[in-house]
Amino acid sequence: MNLYEQEFIIRPIGFIKRDEEGFFLHFDNKVIPALKQLEHFSHIHVFWWADKHDNDQSRGILDCTPPYGENPPITGVFATRAEYRPNPIAVTVAKIEEIDHKKGIVKIQNIDAFDNTPIIDIKAYFPVCDKVESAKMPDWIVGWPESFPDEGFGLYEG
Amino acid sequence: MNLYEQEFIIRPIGFIKRDEEGFFLHFDNKVIPALKQLEHFSHIHVFWWADKHDNDQSRGILDCTPPYGENPPITGVFATRAEYRPNPIAVTVAKIEEIDHKKGIVKIQNIDAFDNTPIIDIKAYFPVCDKVESAKMPDWIVGWPESFPDEGFGLYEG
């Protein structure tokens, strides 16, 4: 058996909702118990499925010229956060604003995903796993903040 | 259509190898171009498929009593890093030691996944996305390092 022919199944556990009141994670009623105690963390990783790139063309893109930095070289997609990649998994850190455990809704500060994007996992942000003090980036990425911005990450449509 | 009946397909892009020489990510030859420029980052997120928990039983576990902390409460799996969860996606930050672009092998410092675990994505660690200065955890988690340890994360089988 060719190990690369294996297929693993992901199912949505919720959907991202954006409206004039803010940014919300709406969860399947079935997974609501998985949110217990989440309100004691300030931040989460939201894993979402980049559904607009779940097609052979996007999944076949392996490198790109990043739209940021100074004279960026051709860069493999694993060295970027591009949504087009072999498995279109995206992850965004978000600050928790409020959790409604009855309805299964988590209000977050911001997120860079479109309305109705499928959520595939949530993990609390643990500094011991996730906060690397000494992480280095390439020289062609200059002038970026050295840590997560206070306002979080949103969509900047221009 | 019930949106929760959608299924998304993930395919392995490589496999984790552990031996007496260390910890290695072996990539499918087809995705080697996606590694370009990765050597200019110090750390990556390794996304792996917790294949031992890809079964209905493990995927149905929604809460647990964490094996750490002081008198931990019953905790939803989204508030933990447990490998059993509705979609068994795991992610570990790892320090890059060496990249062989010809063979498609990345040597990393450490990882908490078993030999032959499928790799499903790699993302360079960008402090602006990933390093949250102010992240808070629950009171019952005490005495943990406030950031990623110098030696990385490994398997501690006991």
Give B86-113 pLDDT, tens digit per residue.
Answer: 999 999 999 999 999 999 999 999 999 9
* A125 chain-B contacts, CB cut-off 8 A: 132, 135
Tokens (6 digits) for A129: 């796993």
Element (H, E) at B90: strand B89-100
Identity of the residue in A77, A126, A153 whose CB atom sits nearest the CB atom of B34: A77
Give strand pairing partners of B79. Answer: none
Measured from the Cβ of residue A10, the count of other Cβ atoms closer than 10 Å reads 23
Binned at pLDDT 50, 70 and 90, residue A157 comes out as low
* B12 chain-A contacts, CB cut-off 8 A: 3-4, 6, 8
Task: Give A66-100 as a DSSP string.
Answer: -SSSSSPPPEEGGGS--S-SSS-EEEEEEEEEEEE
ipTM surpassing 0.90, yes or no?
yes
* A149 chain-B contacts, CB cut-off 8 A: 128
Sign of CA dihedral B145, B150, B153, B158: negative
Residues B124, A35: Cα–Cα separation, whole Å: 28
Task: Give A109-138 as a DSSP string.
Answer: S--SS-TTPEEEEEEE--HHHH--TT----
Strand, coil or helix: B35: helix
Taking only the tens place, the pLDDT of each residue in A65-104 is 999 899 999 999 999 999 999 999 999 999 999 999 999 9
Give the pLDDT confidence score for residue A142 in this predicted structure.
Answer: 86
* B43 chain-A contacts, CB cut-off 8 A: 132, 135-136
Range 84-113 of B in CB contact (< 8 A) with A = 85-87, 89, 91-93
Range 122-151 of B in CB contact (< 8 A) with A = 122-139, 144-149
Identity of the residue in B35, B87, B126 whose CB atom sits nearest the CB atom of A76: B35
* Nearest Cα residue to A16 out of A55, A49, A59: A49
Binned at pLDDT 50, 70 and 90, residue B142 comes out as confident
* Nearest Cα residue to B125 out of B138, B108, B137, B113: B108
Please report the number of interchain residue pairs, chain A to chain B, with beta-carbon separation below 8 angstroms. 289
Q: Look at A42 and B73 and tell me if their CB atoms are within 8 Å.
A: no
